[in-house]
A and B are shown apart, each in its own frame.
Chain A
């Protein structure tokens, strides 16, 4: 099992550009999550999903969108990139609410 995979690993965007961060898990987990990690700030939940077709906002959803058309995939969309979205993004999945499995992260810089 590859677990949770994320692409790309690194990306530099210009202000106003858009992009999609990909997240895939092969563990057949129902729950999936997107977090951002800013230096010294811990992880903050952006969006989460409890199953295919169901998504909900987390703590910091503004500027992002998600979809969950399949159990495996949970892409995160940035429509108009802003410098405040410079961060490391982590995707995670879980079968139950008790243990989340994390991807390796995507480092995004918006200039």
Chain B
């Protein structure tokens, strides 16, 4: 069975502070992991994927197979980063399993 855990429902930081959204997974195979984001009144969209090893909007995420984690990080949070963030695992048969999400609020 595959599972994604986001331990924080809510995360609040001040503008300019570092932010880390936690994601842990459980999967017996080789995982493909993603972060999706949903800004207010917008549809869910892909933020980044671990295989790309890219930085999007200043966010990065590193897959740590030893700790089965895929935490999302940004060194200096901006107010426009306020959104709902979902970690997702691509398992067998093209199925994405989503975590429950973390609502990030960046205060001015």
Chain A interface (Cβ within 8 Å of chain B)? 4, 31, 33, 35, 40-45, 48, 50, 56, 58-59, 90, 92, 97-105
Contact = CB atoms under 8 A, between A and B. Distances in A.
B43 A104 contact: yes
7 contacts: A40-B100, A43-B86, A44-B98, A98-B32, A99-B46, A102-B45, A105-B43
Given A40-B100, A41-B100, A42-B100, A97 B90 contact: yes
Contacts of B34: 98-99
Contacts of B4: 42
Interface residues of B, number: 21
Contacts of B93: 56
Interface of B: 4, 9, 32, 34, 43-46, 49, 51, 86, 90, 93-101
Contacts of A40: 9, 100-101
A42 B96 contact: no
A48 to B, nearest CB: 7
Contacts of A92: 44
A31 B49 contact: no
A104 B45 CA distance: 10
